[in-house]
Amino acid sequence: MARELTVGIAGLGAIGLHLARALDAGVEGLRLHSVAARDHAKARDNLAGFRAPPAIVGLADLAEADIVVEAAPAAVFEQVATAAIARGRIFVPSSVGALLPRMHLVEEARKTGARIVVPTGALLGLDAVRAAAEGEVSSVTIETRKPPRGLVGAPYLEQHGIDVMAVKDEKKLVFKGNAYDAAQGFPANVNVAAALALAGIGPQRTTIEIWADPHVTRNTHTIRVEAAAARLTMTIENVPSEENPRTGKITPLSILACLRGLTSTLKVGS
């Protein structure tokens, strides 16, 4: 067993608060060190019942912890990431889509000795995609279907005057392009595609379709990979979080599993 690692969490929303509660309940090898939240009074209320309430600090001060988890709005992604990487910490982003246009952070991490560990999130079969990408891959596509309310507020929709809440009867294709462009147009919606792109053939070659579908109640992702070693077809239906329909309930669980893997004696999967 590795030494105990301390964890700082940026954001106490649908992802961060769930993760903080799990860590406070006890995870071998990990200890909740600090949290950062925009509303300190609300954060104190949320942490009131904790066995060992963490310190509430500024975003940059989270880098005092060994591991910094980003579970905050995409607008502060770079601030959280830069501080953690500058200190040589382990940086675990939940807003993976925000990483794609900021790949210079990988070079900075290489210089400081930091690590950027991307959790699986809502993506099924990420290990298989990574394995296939060690060989020749001809195409990677992902089709994402979400209830219309789960897409509200995306910059791409606002720029193109697309009202997804007007989609009532038939599903509507609201975006088709590569994962890089999708990450900029839908920063809160395409973390699955971003993780897929990083695991596979890159954001420029990974194709994504985003559908507003009034007939689904779950965030549904279908991934197709054509590779020399295998043909993969995977579908996952994630239950949206009550607090934030853009986020699946599985996302904080995935981050928790990722953190366990950093200290576990037995680690299953690559």
Q: Which long-range contacts (CB under 8 A, 24 or more apart) does 201-205 make?
A: 201/133, 201/137, 201/140, 203/100, 203/178, 203/179, 204/178, 204/179, 204/180, 205/139, 205/140, 205/178
C-beta of residue 250 within 8 angstroms of C-beta of residue 109: no
**Angle at 183 (CA atoms; ends 180, 184), nearest 5 degrees:** 95
Asked whether the beta carbons of 37 and 71 are under 8 A apart, the reply is no
Structure tokens at 90: 């382990």
User: DSSP E strands: which ranges in the chain?
Assistant: 5-10, 30-36, 55-56, 67-70, 90-93, 115-116, 137-146, 172-178, 206-212, 219-227, 231-238
Q: Which residues contact 111 (CB under 8 A, 6 or more apart)?
A: none
| DSSP per residue, 246-269 | TSBTHHHHHHHHHHHHHH-SS---
Q: Which amino acid is at 259?
A: L
Burial grade of 267 (CB within 10 A; 0-12, 13-18, 19 or more): exposed
Active site (annotated) includes residue 221 = yes
Instruction: Indicate which residues carry an active-site annotation.
Output: 221
